[in-house]
């Protein structure tokens, strides 16, 4: 059952799947962008500004999801000393960093015409800002600490501690009065976003996930080769 | 269990650390609650012991039919459907600012019923829909 996590098996699986993932990505991003930018209706209040949402929301979801993965991998690596999980976390981190930056930048661009300000220190924006800082810290620690074992240990700790922030971001709009609107899509209630807007949003999320997976697999292969070369 | 003894020890230590950390965070959170308000709702202003002298934010619905323009000064009512606070503002309104929608205003309280705003932010809610759907909903409501 855990055979897939063996570096060699996973490496070979990565090599064969990247090609097919690229094809899936190209099709889904064309459909997604077409729907999001051209064929989806305007919002009754925001007009065309709503189209920023189709990039902003998937990027935010992915940046949270990736940090969740980093945290879980760091935990497994820290407690059970399964080295390959640190490699997973290290490979996936820069992708999360980029998507968290995209989320913050597109959010600001949306906020100015909608709220009347680029930035405000409410619960959601502040906790998201902390996530970006955590990502930067995580990535920089890997590149600045030369000794692999100590870099692994310290980044694992950052990964696990940073996990605390994830539920705070998720529930910030429910716990505090905030400028940011509450979630439109929840597990418990029907989405408050019209289906003609929900479809492009989900397709964009799917495309971004596939893109993240492709970049992750490429980076994973690089890190494994790097790891083997440095060991010798 | 399948784990080695040292892994078990690390896990125990980690769980202990997690429990103590969550207790500490719980206490910090409870104490900070007062200082981490992004905006007050009208009800919360009413419950305050005094009128805060520093800059605060007030958030709520802009009452239907309350927006008046006098030269360059806007006057409107922010409400949570129970309490009402009159807001005076001098400047440009954001595009999405409208009666019946939420807004956050930043400024000073003159007293508990009168707010002098220096900045206005329009709040968008979690509803996204095309204009035709919004119109259909509106018509349904007015029937």
Please provide the CATH number assigned to the domain covering B38-142: 2.40.50.140
First-to-final CA distance of chain A: 30
What's the rounded Cα separation, in Å, for the pair A9 and A1?
12
ipTM of the complex: 0.78
Contacts 24+ apart (CB under 8 A), A184-192: A184/B126, A184/B127, A184/B128, A192/B126, A192/B127, A192/B128
If pLDDT is split at 50, 70 and 90, which confidence band does A209 have?
A: very high
- Residue-level pLDDT at B33: 65
- Please name which of A215, A96, A88 lies closest in space to residue A152, comparing C-alpha atoms: A88
For chain B, what is the mean pLDDT? Answer: 84
Shortest alpha-carbon distance between residue B74 and chain A (Å): 16
Residues A98-131 as b/e (b if ≥16 CB within 10 A, e otherwise) read bbbebbbebbbebbebbbbbeebebbbbbbbeeb
The predicted structure's pLDDT at residue B12: 85
Q: Which pLDDT belongs to residue B2?
A: 61
A34-61 confidence digits (pLDDT tens): 999 999 898 888 888 899 999 999 999 9
**Residue B19: which pLDDT band, with cuts at 50, 70 and 90?**
confident
Q: How confident is the model over A152-180, as pLDDT tens digits? A: 999 999 999 999 889 989 988 888 888 89
Whole-model pTM: value is: 0.88
CA of B5 to nearest chain A CA: how many angstroms apart?
10
pLDDT score recorded for residue A9: 84
What's residue B15's pLDDT?
86
Checking if the pLDDT of B35 tops 80, the result is no
Tell which of A108, A177, A180, A201 to mutate to test the B interface (max B CBs under 10 Å): A177
DSSP letter assigned to residue A193: B
Q: Which one of B38, B129, B134 has the shortest CB-CB distance to A123?
A: B38
Distance CA B110, CA B95 (A): 27
With residues binned 3-state (H G I as helix, E B as strand, rest as coil), the percentages for chain A, rounded to 5, are: 80, 0, 20
User: Which pLDDT band holds residue A204 (cuts at 50, 70, 90)?
Assistant: very high
Q: What is the mean pLDDT of residues B11-35?
A: 79
pLDDT for res B140: 78
Give the model confidence (pLDDT) of A1-21 as tens digits. Answer: 566 777 888 888 888 999 999
Chain B CB within 8 Å of residue A22 CB: no
Residues of A in contact with B130 (CB under 8 A): 41-44, 194, 196-197
- Which pLDDT does position A66 carry in this prediction? 97
Q: What is the pLDDT of residues A66-123, one digit of tens each?
A: 999 999 999 999 998 888 899 999 999 999 999 999 999 999 999 998 888 899 888 8
* Residue of B95, B129, B130 lying closest to A113 (CB–CB): B95
A49 and chain B in contact, CB less than 8 A: no
Question: Could you give the percent of chain A with pLDDT greater than 90?
Answer: 62
Mean pLDDT to the nearest integer, B79-96 = 88
Q: Which residue in B123, B126, B135 has the most chain A C-beta atoms within 10 A of its own C-beta, making it the best mutation to test that interface?
A: B126
Compare CB distances from B134 to A44, A123, A164 and report the shortest one's residue.
A44
Contact in structure between A95 and A212 (CB atoms under 8 Å): yes
Residue A202: band (very low, low, confident or very high) from pLDDT cuts 50, 70, 90: very high
> What integer pLDDT is reported at residue B69 of this predicted model?
86
Q: Which residue of B has its CA nearest to A165?
A: B25
- Among A227, A216, A230, smallest CA distance to A83 is for A227
In tens, the pLDDT along A121-130 reads 888 998 999 9
What pLDDT does B143 receive? 62
How far A221 CA lies from chain B's nearest CA (Å)?
Answer: 28
């Amino acid at each position: 059952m855990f055979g897939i996590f063996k570096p060699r098996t996973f490496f070979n699986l990565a090599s064969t799947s990247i090609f097919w993932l690229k094809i899936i990505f190209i099709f889904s991003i064309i459909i997604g962008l077409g729907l999001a930018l051209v064929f989806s209706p305007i919002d009754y209040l925001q007009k065309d500004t709503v189209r920023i949402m189709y990039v902003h929301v998937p990027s935010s979801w992915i940046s949270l999801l990736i940090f969740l993965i980093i945290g879980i991998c760091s935990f497994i690596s820290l407690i059970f000393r399964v080295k390959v999980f640190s490699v997973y976390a290290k490979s996936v981190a820069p992708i999360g960093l980029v998507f968290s930056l995209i989320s913050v930048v597109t959010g600001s661009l949306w906020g100015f015409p909608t709220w009347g300000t680029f930035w405000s220190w409410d619960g959601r924006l502040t906790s998201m800002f902390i996530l970006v800082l955590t990502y930067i810290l995580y990535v920089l620690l890997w590149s600045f600490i030369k000794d692999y074992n100590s870099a692994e240990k310290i980044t694992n700790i950052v990964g696990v501690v940073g996990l605390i922030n994830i539920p705070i971001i998720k529930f910030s709009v429910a716990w505090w009065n905030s400028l940011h609107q509450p979630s439109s899509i929840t597990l418990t209630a029907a989405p408050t976003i019209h289906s003609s807007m929900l479809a492009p949003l989900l397709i964009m999320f799917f495309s971004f996930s596939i893109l993240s997976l492709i970049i992750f697999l490429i980076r994973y292969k690089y890190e494994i080769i790097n790891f083997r070369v440095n060991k010798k | 269990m399948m784990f080695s003894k040292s892994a078990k020890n690390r896990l125990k230590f980690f769980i202990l650390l997690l429990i103590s950390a969550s207790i500490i965070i719980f206490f910090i959170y409870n104490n900070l609650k007062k200082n981490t308000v992004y905006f007050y709702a009208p009800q919360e202003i009413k419950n305050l012991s005094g009128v805060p002298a520093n800059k605060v934010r007030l958030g709520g619905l802009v009452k239907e039919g309350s927006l008046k323009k006098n030269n360059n000064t806007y006057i409107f009512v922010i409400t949570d459907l129970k309490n009402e606070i009159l807001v005076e503002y001098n400047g440009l309104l954001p595009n999405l600012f409208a009666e019946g929608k939420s807004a956050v205003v930043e400024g000073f309280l003159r007293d508990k019923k009168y707010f002098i705003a220096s900045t206005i932010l329009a709040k968008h809610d979690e509803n996204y829909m095309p204009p035709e759907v919004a119109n259909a909903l509106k018509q349904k409501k007015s029937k």
